[in-house]
A and B are shown apart, each in its own frame.
Chain A
Amino acid sequence: MSSADQPFIDPSEIKLEASVAQRYKNRSEAFWAGIRDAAGAPAMVLFAGMVGFGAMGKTNGMDAWFTTATSFFMFALPGQVVLLEMAITGSSVVAIALAVTLTSTRFITMTVTLFPQFHEKDRNHGLYASVHLLAMTAWAISMREFQTIEAKHRLSYFVGLGLLCWIISIPGTILGYLLAGVVPPYITLGLVFINPLFFLLTFTEVKPWVNRIAIGLGFVLGPFFFLLDRDTSLLTTGLVGGTIAYLFDRKVLRKRAGVMS
């Protein structure tokens, strides 16, 4: 039996059986650990991003209620930016809804790659509420941390993490709205740069080669597909880049012993 025929073993499962038996005593401890972990870099990143968005809303003549409502209801910064941009340039309501939905297709695969890691008992209808807390920041952190958290505490950890990220984005947006034009541009420049930088940095922590290749292909193909058609570019880049990375991993990397994972 060649290595390609063997079922893929998640590295996290091996680790759990060996050393990390219990990282948290109970659900509430896991929840608060999620809150604590969110309070560092993730909250800083989201807060900064939302401050930038709030400022963008103000400078484009939106009212404070509307700008803040997008953060509360959508909680997806790239989608919010698309909404604002298109509303300013006078796109139709249908075009806006479609474009934003296309930007949000990443949530489908983000959910599908994160939620199966929860304990079987937690995978119920309650997830339809928790999923609103899913954004790129919480996803990136969870993908990393879940490997050392036992399955039954992962949901609590995620909810703590996501909840603080979501809550912090509201005052962030309001503050950005109030500060627009008041703070010098170089401060705003630093704030809007934190977001892409954070994701760039978390990519260095991605371990499996299949995902590393996918990231590399995303960097190369992303701008190309963006120039072809901006609305569908994320989806097409994901499908093309992801498929190539997966096939390369399956046909080449996994045939060679020692390179797996």
Chain B
Amino acid sequence: MNASLQGWGLWIALAGATIGTYICRAIGVLLAKRINQDSEIFRYLSAVTYAMVAALVVRMVLMPIGLLSTVPVWIRLLICALSIGVMVSKPTHRLVPALLTGTVLMLAYGLIR
């Protein structure tokens, strides 16, 4: 703990992180004005975005930090698979039941371990 940032340093770090995050959003707006949604570049950037978001999600599932990392990987994957099963069992309007399935299963695991 003694290595951690304290007081003003912490807030300056937050300011830097906030500005960095907002700059990324603002660059997006700047570029969005010039991009037509029927163009090839739009199609390309969509693919890039989905790959990025997928990488973020797989990181959260496979290499989480904190409490979730105490759950064995195969349990995490099994619960994901079961929830996706509920989701695709009917093409529409299954998001909430599928979400609840996964959450309840994870709760149950935490309760019985």
- On A, residues with C-beta under 8 Å from B are 7-10, 13, 40-41, 44-45, 56, 61-62, 66, 69-70, 73-74, 76, 78-79, 81-83, 85-91, 93-94, 96-98, 100-101, 104-117, 123, 127-128, 131-132, 134, 136, 140, 184-204, 206, 208, 210-211, 213-219, 221-223, 225-226, 233-235, 237-243, 245-246, 249-250
Given A98-B20, A100-B21: A106 and B56 interface contact (C-beta under 8 Å): yes
Contact at A101–B47, with CB atoms within 8 Å?
A: no
Given known contacts A100-B20, A223-B62, A242 and B50 CB-to-CB distance under 8 angstroms: yes
Knowing A204-B88, A242-B50, say if A223 contacts B35 (CB, 8 Å). Answer: no
Does the CB pair A93–B103 fall under 8 Å?
Answer: no
**Distance in angstroms between the alpha carbons of A217 and B52 in the assembled complex:** 10
At the interface, is chain B mostly helix, strand, loop or mixed? helix
Tell me if B24 and A105 are in contact (CB < 8 A).
yes
Which residue of B18, B57, B61, B96 is within 8 Å of A74 (Cβ)?
B18
B43 and A222 contacting across the interface, CB-CB below 8 Å: no
Q: Which residues of chain B have a CB within 8 Å of any CB of chain A?
A: 1, 3-5, 9-14, 16-29, 31-33, 35-40, 42-68, 71, 76, 79-80, 83-84, 87-88, 95-96, 98-99, 102-104, 106-107, 109-111
Once the chains bind, are B10 and A188 in contact (CB under 8 Å)?
no
Measured CA separation A62–B25 after assembly (Å):
27
Inter-chain contact B5/A192, CB cutoff 8 Å: no
User: With A and B bound together, what is the CA distance between A123 and B62 in angstroms?
Assistant: 38
Contact B21 A222 (CB under 8 A): no
Shortest distance in angstroms between A154's beta carbon and chain B's nearest beta carbon? 11
Known: A101-B24, A225-B55. A79 touches B17 (CB 8 A): yes
* Inter-chain contact B13/A185, CB cutoff 8 Å: no
Q: B26 touching A200 by the CB < 8 A rule?
A: no
Cβ contact within 8 Å between B35 and A217: no
Contact yes or no, A190 B9, CB < 8 A: no
A88–B28 CB distance below 8 A:
no
User: How far is it, in angstroms, between the C-alpha of A69 and the C-alpha of B62 when the chains are bound?
Assistant: 28
Q: Which B residue's beta carbon lies closest to that of A114? A: B32
What chain B residues lie within 8 Å of A117 (beta carbons)?
Answer: 37
Not counting A98-B20, A193-B79, a sample of 18 additional A-B residue pairs whose C-beta atoms are within 8 angstroms of each other reads: A56-B66, A66-B14, A74-B14, A78-B56, A87-B5, A88-B3, A94-B16, A109-B28, A110-B49, A140-B53, A196-B64, A198-B99, A201-B87, A213-B47, A218-B58, A238-B49, A239-B51, A242-B47
Chain B: which residue is nearest A245 at the CB level? B47
Partner of A127, one of B11, B29, B46, B76: B29
Docked pose: A203 CA to B111 CA in angstroms:
29
Contact A222 B44 (CB under 8 A): no
**CB–CB B80/A190 < 8 A:** no
Contact of B25 among A98, A131, A218, A250 (CB under 8 A): A131
Q: Are B63 and A226 closer than 8 Å at their CB atoms?
A: yes
Asked whether, in the complex, the Cβ of B10 is within 8 Å of the Cβ of A112, the reply is no
A255 CA to B94 CA in the complex, in Å? 34
Q: Are B25 and A219 in contact (CB under 8 A)?
A: no
Residue among B11, B12, B21, B31 with max Cβ neighbours from chain A (10 Å): B21
A110's closest neighbor in chain B, by CB?
Answer: B49
CA gap between A186 and B105 in the complex, in Å? 11
B50 A190 Cβ-Cβ under 8 A? no
Check if A211 sits within 8 Å of B50, measured CB to CB: yes
Q: Do the beta carbons of A41 and B96 come within 8 Å of each other?
A: yes
Asked if A97 contacts B38 (CB within 8 A), the reply is no
From the candidates B14, B20, B32, name the one contacting A70 in the complex (CB within 8 A): B14
